[in-house]
Structure 1
Amino acid sequence: MTPGQRLRQIANVLNGSTLLGLLLAACARTSVSPGPHGLLIASRYRWRLPLAGAFTVGNVVLFRTGPEVARSNPVLLCHEERHSTQYAWCLGLPFLPLYFIAAAWSLWRTGNPASANIFERHAGLQAGGYPDPQVTTGGTGPTAPERNEA
């Protein structure tokens, strides 16, 4: 673990976000095991929300799959690790409302909650399995296909 990863791990424990992630993992009855770079992997998450195959709360990455599948996807783990760093930069739990505001903005601009979401863009859209952005320039909602009316 690098000094930066260790600092992030400590920051997310102190700001309460990792503790919230562990509480969520316990309530959802997932199995938690140590992961790479100071992350904790909570596997076999079965609750309906969120719809994602993986999501992060503090340094806890919750996966719908088993731990062996989660560990075998280093690109997705790197994406989720970036979200863990975002929790630290946002001082923990303030990340959640900021993320939801960014998701709503993205939904309004592109029709999906990730493409224009600054947090997802900085974590790597493709690494997270999200579509490329199709942001409009006018700020009036999703881009409609052009019509050629005669």
Structure 2
Amino acid sequence: MLPPQTASWQEHARRRQATDLEHGNELHRLAQLQQVLTDPDLRRMWWIARFPERFKDLKPLAEELDGLPAPQGAQDDDLRGDIRRLTDQLVTALQTPQQREVFLRVLVQTFQALGPLGLRRGAGSRPQDAADAEEDQAEHAQRHAVRARHD
């Protein structure tokens, strides 16, 4: 049997987790509703499906909702946000197809250098790099075999 403090702490953690889940679900539901209400076509279809007998009330609702901002995406943590902003700036700054190609090749090499096979597969998924990805997988298998012989 657990000590009373541990059981109490676990119950508190369960309640907090349930509350956080309910809060997250409510925020998600409200963001979806905001998305519907800010898009005139979605708003019209939602209103007709939800309140078919009150179609004439749609125009005053639309006027009231004028200026409602679209929902913002989930906030990134600092690192992810920084990476997204940097990547967006890099892609925007690339002027020519040659620059884009060089950028993508260096990005692929970076992912390959990081090591995890999942990153390598994702980096090697571009059609022109299929041969490179196969070569990389063969090289990985060869390194694995060499390590196995040394162990």
TM-score bracket, normalised by the shorter chain, equals under 0.3
The higher-RCO structure (CA 8 Å, 6+ apart) is 1
**Between Structure 1 and Structure 2, which shows a larger proportion of helix residues?**
2
Q: Which has the larger radius of gyration?
A: 2
**Between Structure 1 and Structure 2, which shows a larger proportion of strand residues?**
1
